[in-house]
Amino acid sequence: MKATAIAIRPPTAAGESPAVTPELLASVLARYSRSNKGISAILASVDPSDPDASVDAIFRFVDYGHASIAGMTGGIAVAIDGLSMFLAYKIFEIAQLCDGQESSTRYIKMDKSGVPAPEEVGIPSNCVKRWESFTVRAFEVYREVYDMLDDKVRRNPEIIALPKGIDEKVVDRIRKNYALDRARYLIPFASKTNAAYVMTARVWADTLRRLDSLPLQEAGLCAALVRSELDKFVPRMTRHSFRSPAGESQARQLLAYSVNEIKKNGVCIDNIIDEVYLEVANDRPAFLPDLQMMPDAFAGKENRYSEAGTSVRRATVRAAWNNMAIAELRDLNRHRSGYRFSPLCPKGFYIPADVKHPMIGELLNEYKSTVESLASQENGSETYVYALLLGTQVAFEHSTHLDKFIYEIELRTGLGAHFRYAEHLSKASAILEEKMPGISRFVQEGNAEPEF
C-alpha cells in the first residue's frame, strides 16, 4: 500500500495572488476572524520565507483547540494505491464530507494478482489456505463469466440497446460494460484498488482517528501512511488523528454485530427479493410554513443539477434497501449528502439472471464456508469482510434531504447508469410518489441503459 499527498500549485493567472501552505491558510483565516484589520494586513505579517514560524506566531494568539480552524486548510488530496476495496469503501463511509473517486470495475478487468497477501489483511493462519483458494477460484470464475458475456453480446448485439449512428469505439465500450457490469459480482471485496480522497485537515483528522480505531491491521497501516503524508502539509493538526477509546468501542460493536449474526444465522447465498423502505419527514413548524407549492419548487428545472426550491430542500428522506449488493453499495456509499450506513452483514447473494456458469454454485458454497469460518475465529473474526464478494447483499440505509435524494434517483437511473442501480432507485422513486403524490412529474427518472 502507498499513500501520496498531492500539492496544488497556483495557476499562472493567480500569479499575483497570495500563496500559503494549508496550515498557514488556516492560521491566517483564524486570525482574520478575530481581527478587523483586513486580510492584507494579516498576510503582511507573514514571513513567506518561513511559513512555519508564521503559523507558530499566529497560533500563540489564536486558540487552536477549535476544530473549525482545521476546516480552513482547504482540500488536501491524497491518493492511496493498493488498498482493499473494503477499506476504500470504509474510508468513504467514514468521511461523509470528502470528495473522491475509486478505480472502476467498469473500466478495469481484474485478476488474482490484485488479491493482497493474507498477512496484509490479517487473515488468521488456520484460515489462510481456505481464503487463498477461495479468492483464486472467484477470479477464475469471474474471468470465465466475463469472456462468456462478452462473446454473447458480440454474437447477439441486439441484447444491448444501441443508439443509432454511434461510433464503433462507443459500441465496443457499451459491449464491455455489459460484460463487466454483470461479471463483477464475483470479484472479492478484498481485491486491491486505488482511491483518491480530498478533504480538509479537519475531516482528514476525524477520518484517520476512526480508521485507526478499527480492529483491522490494514486500517491501522493505511492511517499511518496517510498521516505521514499529511505531516508534510498540516503537521500541527495530525496530532488529532490517532485512535480514540470511543472510536475503538463503536468500531468493535459494529463488527461484533455482524460477526454474531453470521455465527447465529450463517451466510445465505440465495438472491434476496427486493424490499425498499422510504419515509419522508415533511412537517413544518407553525411559525415557519412552506413558502411555495410543489410545482414552484421545481420551476425552471432543466436537469438534475438545477436548483430546487425551499419546500423540497427542507424535507428529509430516509431510504433503505434490504439487499444492496456490495457492487452497488461501493458507489451509492459515495453520495456526499446525508448519512450512509450498513453493518456489512451478509443477507443474500446477487447474480444477474442472465449470468449462467456451471461453477457459480460451487463458488458460492466455498464463499459461504469461508465467511463462516473466518467469523467463527476467536481472534480475527472481523476479517470476514475480506471474504465477501461484490455480489454479497447487505442492508443499506441513506438519510438525506429530498432534493438530494431526487438527484440520486435521476443520476442512478439516467443514461449510462448501471442496470441494478436503476432497479433499486426506481423502486424507491415509486414509493416516493406514494408518499408525496404528484412529485413524480418533477423527477426525471431515466432508463439507465445503454451503459456508456
What is the pTM for the complete model shown?
Answer: 0.92
DSSP string across 390-431? TTEEEEEEEEEEHHHHHHHHHHHHSTT--HHHHHHHHHHHHH
Q: Give residue-wise pLDDT tens across range 110-166.
A: 888 899 999 999 999 999 999 999 999 999 999 999 999 999 988 988 888 777 777
C-alpha grid cell for residue 422? 436503476
Q: Strand 76-84 and strand 2-6: pairing?
A: antiparallel
Q: Which 3 state secondary structure label does DSSP give 146?
A: helix
Query: Residue 204 pLDDT > 50, yes or no?
Result: yes
Q: Which CATH architecture has domain 1-104+192-243?
A: 2-Layer Sandwich (3.30)
Confidence of residue 415 (pLDDT cuts 50, 70, 90): confident
Residues in the chain: 452
Q: Give residue-wise pLDDT tens across range 212-268.
A: 999 999 999 999 999 999 999 998 889 889 999 999 999 999 999 999 999 999 999
C-alpha grid cell for residue 80? 492511496
Whether 421 contacts 448, CB under 8 Å: yes
Whether 415 contacts 446, CB under 8 Å: yes
Whether 22 contacts 233, CB under 8 Å: yes
Range(s) of the chain covered by CATH 3.30.1360.170 = 1-104+192-243, 276-442
Q: Identify which of 85, 90, 45 has the alpha carbon closest to the alpha carbon of residue 386.
A: 85
Greater pLDDT, 410 or 108: 410
Cα dihedral 306, 308, 313, 318 sign: negative
> Which pLDDT score, from 0 to 100, does residue 60 have?
59
Q: Which CATH architecture has domain 276-442?
A: 2-Layer Sandwich (3.30)
Rounding to the nearest 10 degrees, give the CA dihedral for residues 100, 120, 391, 150: 80
Burial of 305 (0-12, 13-18, 19+ CB in 10 A): exposed
